[in-house]
Amino acid sequence: MKQPLKGPHHFTGITRDVVTNVDFWCRIMGMRFVKNTLNFETTFRYHTYFGDEEGNPGSVVTFLEFNEAPAGVPGDGDIHRMVLRVGSYDSLEYWMDRLIANQTHSELLRLDPTSPQSLVFHDPEGHEVELMVSDTPDTPLLADADDIPAEHRIRGLEGARSYTTIDEQEPFAAHLGFRRDGNRLVLDGERSGRWYFSEPTGRPSNDGRVGVWHHIAYDAGDGAETERARDEANEGVRPWTKIFDHYFFDSCYSMSPGGRMEICTTGPGFQLDEKLEDLGDRLCLSPRVEPLRAKLEAELTPIVNPRPRSKQKAAAKPSDNGVPATEPATVA
């Protein structure tokens, strides 16, 4: 494309249990809960966001709340794994032990010398995750998580793995700037994005079910760059939607042979309505939904951030107005 994509931005699944969702992705996986907010297509559903310490594009994993969505197993044309980066084979061993300690099964993929080494598991709601020892030179995107050694923490998004063939996906992806690299497609942006493939299953798509990844988003830059990228993308083999305001970024979508893809702006990002040290500590509502705050706070299941940052920092020094800091938070 003349307007190249910059790399992966975020990855999104569906949750019907936000409490378990936040506990798993924040406390167990060690990602920062970077935004507690609502899905912008509705006025009453949560949208949870996890990421590195600053919520940088390329690190972000999000979940849309659909309490009534049935569970489902990915089928043909679905993204069946989110692939996250870790630093070494030792990290895979570390994560197998950490997942065992949290009653979660996992499987090491290490017997094929032609494939990257990975650990595969499901989150509590059935989303399949692949931790991969990536060959990328990208700078790791890390969250602070005191109970996880720095060398083993999640390092950001590697890409998606879909139930389709590389031949089916290539015309769609090549138009967006991906190149074929063996049995994967690679986007050489400011950050590298990779698309992997698994043999189609014969099962029909279960798009929209809990346990099937909803989409992967790629970063197109600022608003003008995203407009150009969307218009160019729309000249490819599949149509793209118009661009929608999603408050923290603007987004458009298409359904690729290997699952839904989004192109979005880099920002304005999660510090639009919270300071860095406060990210994830309160329910953030866009100005459009703010008039419903009292009703929402009464009706929604409360979310408690298991790794708050602001209270930790408040405990370390007096507050700005000279009032002694409150009790330090317990970090699970």
User: Is 48 or 118 the residue whose CB approaches Fe ion more closely?
Assistant: 48
Among residues 12 and 192, whose Cβ is nearest to Fe ion?
A: 12
- Binding test (CB under 5 A) with Fe ion, winner from 65, 125, 232, 262: 262
Residues from 226 through 255 that contact Fe ion (CB under 5 A)? none
Site string for Fe ion, 12-41 (x = CB under 5 A): x-----------------------------
Smallest gap from residue 284 Cβ to Fe ion (A) = 17
Q: Whose CB is nearest to Fe ion? A: 217
Location of structure tokens 């790791």: 140
Provide, rounded to whole angstroms, the least separation between the CB of residue 246 and Fe ion: 7
Decide if residue 217 touches Fe ion (CB under 5 A): yes
Are 92 and 129 spatial neighbours (Cβ–Cβ below 8 Å)? Answer: no
Q: What is the Cα–Cα distance from 320 to 108, expressed in whole angstroms?
A: 49
CA distances (Å), origin 8, targets 54, 104, 265, 274, 287? 16, 27, 11, 23, 28
User: What is the number of other CB atoms lying within 10 angstroms of the CB of residue 79?
Assistant: 30
* Residue 252: CB minimum distance to Fe ion, A: 10
Residue 250 or 274 having the CB closest to Fe ion: 250
Which residue from 198, 174, 169 is spatially nearest to 188, judged by alpha carbons?
174
Q: What number of other Cβ atoms are within 10 A of residue 160's Cβ?
A: 29
Q: Confirm if 292 and 43 have CB atoms less than 8 A apart.
A: yes
Beta-carbon contacts of residue 119 (< 8 Å; ≥ 6 apart): 86, 92, 95, 96, 106, 107, 108, 109, 130, 131
* 65 scored as a contact of Fe ion (CB under 5 A): no
Binding residues with Fe ion: total (CB under 5 A): 3
| By the rule CB under 5 A, 138 interacts with Fe ion | no
Residue whose CB is less far from Fe ion, 51 or 87: 51
Interface residue list for Fe ion (CB under 5 A)? 12, 217, 262
